[in-house]
Chain A
Amino acid sequence: MVFDMNKCLGCQTCTIACKTLWTDEEGMDYMWWNIVSTMPGQGTPRGWQEMGGGFRDGNANPSRLPKLQEFGAAWEFNYEDVLYGGQGTNQYLRPKDGDASWGPLWDEDQASGDYPNSYFFYLQMICMHCTDPACLAACPRQAIYKRVDDGIVLIDQERCNGYRFCMEACPYKRIYFNQARQVAQKCILCYPRLEQGVAPACFRQCPGRVRFIGYLDDENSAVHKLVNVWQVALRLHPEAGTQPNVYYVPPLSPPKFDENGDAIEGSERIPREYLESLFGPDVHRVLSVLKAEIQKTRAGEKSEMLDTLIAYEWKSMFGGFTRDPGTLDRSP
């Protein structure tokens, strides 16, 4: 999978697509199998990047379980008091019991830097369906498996006993605990859709044309070209050692303004060190390649790379998984 961070508007259509499709059942209200976080920012669960997990020097790297509050629990509101409490306008709608101290998108669009040179970008997160998943290795009862045909990593809902070692071990903290059913749950890459030739909901519903999917060894696919041929898509926190299968095209920056309000040519607002801390030192090469391709097109030349990223042909993003879900037989 490849996410082009240059095109994401943070509209969260992907987030709601997943939520309405999968995580609208009991015990799932705080779950965001897909989420788009503003970076720099704490993400969800807050501070996940400092929690550990994954592998270090080939060994399991200890971590901890985040609390519900750190994920950003779904708030309970005082509807009864407002609507039936008989206090008229003396009572206003608000979260109960001081619930509102953190939410999964609490620092959305907060940005970093100093005006007028503020900066932020969006980081799209789903389960990475890693090639060497730390979650799978951590489970003492092999309740997590990676499908041979398509590499999708799944938690066996019958086998899971809710020990949650997987939740600790994931360096991206993409696993949630269903308190009602007492099992761990996470993004399933919409495998029932993929099995029918339909792209996952978050990919297909993205209006920004951010998300590419396909088999990496399918030489006709956009993902193959972006990851293997042009190599402009990078892993997030590759040092965690799990070999994630979601790759990111890193974000270019607008230029900085000087004291007179003039753009400083060639400058970048997003600090390179910050991008390097996310994607590794290869990010510098990739940004140079992207800038060079943009220069090419401004000089009137063609760029197959930019055409692929722009995705004029929407279906070209999905590596063959182009079936319309409306054609599925969804009889009860």
Chain B
Amino acid sequence: MVRVKRLAADDARLLDPNAPEWRSLPAESVTLSPTPLISQPSLYVQATWKEKPYGLTQQALVKAAHNGSAVFFHLAWGDATKDSEIKDTDHFTDAAAVLFPVKDDAPLTSMGSADQPVNAWYWRPDFEEPASITARGTGTTVRHLSAGLKAGASFGDGGWSVVISRALGSPNGSTVTLRPGQSGRVAFAVWQGSNQERGGLKAVTLEWQPLEVEG
């Protein structure tokens, strides 16, 4: 259960993953597992990663808050190396995402379906702002920049702490609605760049987590 607690703090404070306001909140430990190999749409990926471990991140600590105007998800996970920019042709950055069903009933491990889209807030350390991504099945993701998403990130203590944020309500037709007092569902994903994780090669919550936004 991920509870989005109402906090009286301004956006700038809550965007800082190290802000004291976050320390007062209990963290929900979320188990992450590799996305099943069989669900990778590319046979090349299936053949190449059959013996190679991926989705190495096993756990994330999740906190969530809102201040009446915006909602903030605080994710923390372990990563031995800080991969914050693409340094070589064979190098990838770390990344994380928060996923929502646009309407209540969307399948998770297939990234939605044709008539049941999902919406992700995708953070990358080398993006100026997180991307809002809609998907109607694996391999169909569409990225929208300038979606009003914001993030704050810090690397230390053997891992990342990242806050991803968006205005409450429903800023845009193709994205999820989040309002105080509402319950819904949420899922999480983490990519380890040092393991060449990208696209479908990631660690995810295999099931939707219940989400409650405090009134």
Contacts and interface: CB of A to CB of B under 8 A. Distances in A.
Nearest to A176: B89
B44 A137 contact: yes
B47 A59 contact: yes
A163 interface: yes
B33 interface: no
A59 to B, nearest CB: 6
Interface stretch (A66-74, A224-232, A233-241, A316-324): A66-74
B198 interface: yes
Interface string B122-139: 000000000000000011
Interface string A146-190: 000000000000000111110111000000110100100000000
A34 B53 CA distance: 35
Contacts of B46: 60
Contacts of A164: 89-90, 198
Contacts of B199: 140-141, 161, 163, 165
A63 B198 CA distance: 16
Interface string A101-142: 000000000000000000000000000000000100111111
Interface in A249-285: none
A182 B42 contact: no
A295 to B, nearest CB: 47
B141 interface: yes
Contact of A59 (B43, B143, B198): B43
Contacts of B86: 162, 179, 182
B48 interface: yes
B90 A169 contact: no
A64 interface: yes
A63 B141 contact: no
A62 interface: yes
A243 interface: no
A321 B86 CA distance: 40
Contacts, number: 72
B112 to A, nearest CB: 14
Contacts of A142: 139
A68 B88 contact: yes
A65 interface: yes
Contacts of A162: 86, 198
A161 B139 CA distance: 11
The bracket for how many chain B residues form the interface is 20 to 34
A176 B138 CA distance: 25
B69 interface: no
Contacts of B47: 59-62
A161 to B, nearest CB: 7
Given A161-B199, A163-B199, A140 B89 contact: no
Nearest to A30: B89
A140 B45 contact: yes
A168 B140 CA distance: 21
Given A134-B44, A139-B42, A168-B44, A177 B89 contact: yes
A230 to B, nearest CB: 36
Contacts of A61: 47
A140 B90 contact: no
A141 B43 contact: no
B124 to A, nearest CB: 10
Given A67-B88, A71-B89, A140 B41 contact: yes
Contact of B89 (A59, A141, A163, A167): A167
A168 to B, nearest CB: 7
B48 A168 contact: yes
B138 A140 contact: yes
B152 interface: no
Contacts of A60: 42-44, 46-48
B139 A65 contact: no
Given A65-B89, A68-B89, A138 B196 contact: no
Interface in B32-74: 40-48
A141 B139 contact: yes
A71 B42 CA distance: 25
27 contacts: A59-B43, A60-B43, A60-B48, A62-B47, A62-B48, A65-B89, A65-B90, A65-B196, A68-B88, A134-B44, A137-B43, A138-B43, A138-B44, A140-B40, A140-B41, A140-B42, A141-B139, A141-B140, A141-B141, A141-B199, A162-B198, A164-B90, A167-B89, A168-B48, A169-B44, A179-B89, A182-B86
Given A60-B47, A67-B90, 5 more contacts: A62-B47, A137-B44, A140-B45, A141-B41, A164-B89
